[in-house]
């Protein structure tokens, strides 16, 4: 097993990242925050929302396979019950890095999706947020990482 810092560093070393669940109405929506932060930090980021043609001023894609040129990593920011389907799509497409977003509450974490992904050789981070780790972190997210690690919402190892 890798430490969360090692797994986060490996995940964030990928430059083409899809974010699922990016909303057309971004008010404090976790996926939108992650999408914006990655985009602002120079990542080539792709929004996935089957119900939108555009989000955050950028094209949105129906699913991962619709993204031209594919991606190296995926942040799952949908409801947990959708995470398993997304994880299966990641396995089918050969995507080897997946982060299921969680800050407050259940977030996007699905134990079934985690187990399936790891069984397929995917590095799965099952909790926390990419914005909690460098090079995408800010002081607020770092503070949340500290608190959420204590409460188990950010795993210590993956």
Element (H, E) at 126: strand 123-126
Alpha helices (runs of H) in 18-110, residue ranges in sequence order:
30-40, 80-93
pTM above 0.85, yes or no: yes
Confidence label for 106 from pLDDT (cuts 50, 70 and 90): confident
Return the domain boundaries, the chain. Answer: 4-151
4-151: CATH superfamily: NAD(P)-binding Rossmann-like Domain (3.40.50.720)
Confidence label for 96 from pLDDT (cuts 50, 70 and 90): very high
């Amino acid at each position: 097993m890798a430490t969360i810092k090692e797994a986060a560093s490996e995940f964030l070393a990928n430059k083409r990242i899809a974010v699922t669940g990016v909303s057309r109405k971004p008010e404090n929506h976790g996926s939108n925050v992650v999408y914006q932060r990655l985009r602002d930090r120079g990542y080539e980021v792709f929004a996935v929302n089957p119900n939108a043609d555009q989000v955050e001023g950028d094209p949105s894609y129906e699913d991962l396979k619709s993204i031209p040129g594919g991606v190296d990593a995926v942040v799952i920011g949908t409801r947990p019950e959708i995470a398993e389907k997304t994880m299966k799509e990641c396995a089918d497409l050969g995507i080897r890095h997946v982060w299921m977003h969680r800050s407050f509450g259940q977030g996007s974490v699905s134990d079934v999706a985690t187990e399936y992904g790891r069984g397929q050789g995917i590095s799965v981070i099952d909790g926390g947020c990419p914005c909690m780790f460098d090079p995408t972190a800010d002081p607020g997210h770092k503070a949340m990482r500290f608190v959420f690690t204590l409460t188990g919402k950010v795993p210590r190892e993956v």
